[in-house]
Amino acid sequence: MDYFAQQLINGLVLGSIYGLIAIGYTMVYGIVGMINFAHGDIFMIGGFIAMISFLVLVSLGLTAIPLILLIVLLVSMVITALYGWTIERIAYRPLRHSFRLAPMLSAIGMSFVLTNFSQVSQGARVKPVPPIITGGYTLHEGSEGFAVQLSNIQIVVVLATIVLLAVFTWLVSRTRLGRDMRACEQDQTMASLLGVDVDRTISMTFVIGAALAAVAGMMYLLYYGLVDFFMGFVAGIKAFTAAVLGGIGSLPGAMLGGLAIGLIETFWSAYFSVEYKDVAAFSILIVVLIFMPTGLLGRPEVEKV
């Protein structure tokens, strides 16, 4: 039971990270109708920028951990968001009304560019950082010496996710930008006729998605204490799986799907085998798509004949 509770906590934390990435996939898919293959690498870039800025801040002599974290968060969100904006501008916008495969290949190409850019510029080796947020609570002391732990870093990850989701939900449901985004999702031509700046709205979608991915990257760095240039690929596929599982296009669905994937992966590793945890996640994707093609919260797609 204790073991189960511990895995539940771990799974929720991992799921929060996946959920944050998944939102970027789902938003872009909702508006532009493409899988942004480079999004996993945006997450990786976010992690790198958090790592570098943290290192620089510490070496500059800053010691107040909360202040450092706040600055790192802002820096990585802003710079990573600019990556998202630039990529849309360079690689996707010229292909927006092109054939379906062209933007997808362009996105795959962009994903290679980012992966290898970071490999070339920062080296191929794993970058470890010392634990930044330490300490925690013991929730329950088990009879066989097994204790359920809730570390501070886990609390930070979950809290940050919740706060960001609240801000984000407010953004898409209450603001002008959110309304424009929903309008573009329904019908871009109509939206532009009604005075919505479609280009800008799509850009903002990429910016927001990238900023959330940057947060996920930073959380990953804090939680696992390392980043490497290849981490975007697998995390990206899993987050996309999460988006599909939740129902692509649905924002709560993305978060829900993220949590589900995080839990599945954690429990699979805990009770079956660590080696096959990714196989489990991908198999679930296939099974879900076969039996529930619209995901948990997705709208059913009607085929008009």
Partner 1 sequence: MSGDPILTVDRLMMRFGGIVAVNELSFAAERRKITALIGPNGAGKTTVFNCITGFYRPSGGAIRLAHDDGRSIQLERLNDFRISKQAKVARTFQNIRLFPGMTALENLMVAQHNALMRASGLTLLGLLGLPSWREAEQRAIELARTWLDRVGLLDRADDAAGNLPYGDQRRLEIARAMCTEPALLCLDEPAAGLNARESGGLNELLLSIRNEQGTSILLIEHDMSVVMEISDHVVVMDYGVKIAEGTPQAVRDDPKVIAAYLGADEEEAIAVMESGT
Partner 2 sequence: MSATSARPSHAAQPSGSAFILKKALISAAVALVLFSLMIGVRTEAGPQGGLIYWTRFGDLAAMVGTVFGGSIIIELLRQWWGPVDKDRIVPKPVQAAMSFAGRWLAPALLVFAFLVPVIFYNQRYILDLSILVLTYVMLGWGLNVVVGLAGLLDLGYVAFYAVGAYSYALLATNFGLSFWVCLPLAGILAAFWGVLLGFPVLRLRGDYLAIVTLAFGEIIRLVIINWQSLTGGPNGVSGIPRPTLFGIPLDNSDDGLAAKLGIEFSPTHRIVFLFYLILAMALLTNWVTIRLRRLPIGRAWEALREDEVACRALGINVTTTKLTAFATGAMFGGLAGAFFATRQGFISPESFTFQESALVLAIVVLGGMGSQLGVALAALTMIGGFELFRGFDQYRMLVFGIAMVLLMIWRPRGLIGHRAPTVFLERNQAISSDLVKEGHG
Ligand X SMILES: Nc1ncnc2c1ncn2[C@@H]1O[C@H](COP(=O)(O)OP(=O)(O)OP(=O)(O)O)[C@@H](O)[C@H]1O
Give the interface with ligand X as residue ranges (CB under 6 A): 302, 304
Q: Please, where are the H alpha helices in the chain?
A: 2-32, 39-59, 65-87, 101-122, 152-174, 176-186, 188-193, 198-224, 231-246, 251-271, 277-291
Site for partner 1 in 112-171 (CB under 8 A): none
Binding status of residue 101 toward partner 1 by CB under 8 A: no
* CB 253 to ligand X: min, Å: 22
The binder of 99, among partner 2, partner 1, ligand X, none, by C-beta within 5 to 8 A per type, is: partner 2
Extract the tokens encoding 148. Answer: 């359920």
Residue 99 or 135 with smaller CB distance to partner 1:
99
Nearer to partner 1 by Cβ, of 1 and 305: the residue is 305
What are the phi and psi torsion angles at 134 (to 5°)? -115, 180
Is the CB of 64 or the CB of 305 nearer to ligand X? 305
Closest separation in Å from C-beta 218 to partner 2: 13
As measured in angstroms, the least distance from the Cβ of 301 to partner 1 is 13
Interface residue with partner 1, options 60, 193, 290, 305 (CB under 8 A): 305
Nearer to ligand X, 203 or 294 (CB): 294
Q: Using CB distances below 5 to 8 A depending on partner kind, what does residue 100 bind out of partner 2, partner 1, ligand X, none?
A: partner 2
Q: In a 3-state reduction of DSSP, which class is residue 60?
A: coil
Q: How far is the CB of 164 from partner 2 (least distance, A)?
A: 22
DSSP label at residue 95: G
Tell me the torsion sign for CA atoms 257, 258, 263, 264.
Answer: positive
Q: How far is the CB of 299 from ligand X (least distance, A)?
A: 12
Residues 8 and 274: their CA atoms lie apart, in Å, by 16
Q: What is the CA radius of gyration of the chain?
A: 20
Closest CA to 169 of 50, 114, 161, 303: 161
Pick the closest to residue 288 from 255, 229, 232, 248 (CA basis).
248
- Asked if 64 is part of the footprint of partner 1 (rule: CB under 8 A), the reply reads no
Q: Is the dihedral of CA 267, 163, 73, 206 positive or negative?
A: positive
Q: Using CB under 8 A, count the residues that bind partner 1.
A: 3
Q: Kindly state the smallest distance separating residue 219's Cβ from partner 1, in Å.
A: 40
Closest separation between CB of residue 140 and ligand X, Å? 52
CA distance 264 to 12: 10
Measured from the CB atom, the residue of 46 and 298 that comes closer to ligand X is: 298
33: left (phi over 0), alpha (psi -120 to 50) or beta: left
- What does 278 bind: partner 1, partner 2, ligand X, none (CB cut-off 5 to 8 Å by kind)? partner 2
How many CA atoms, within 13 angstroms, populate the side-chain half-sphere of residue 74? 6
Question: What binding mask, one character per residue, do residues 284-303 give for partner 1 by CB under 8 A, x or -?
Answer: ------------------xx
**Which spans of this chain sit near partner 1 (rule: CB under 8 A)?**
302-303, 305
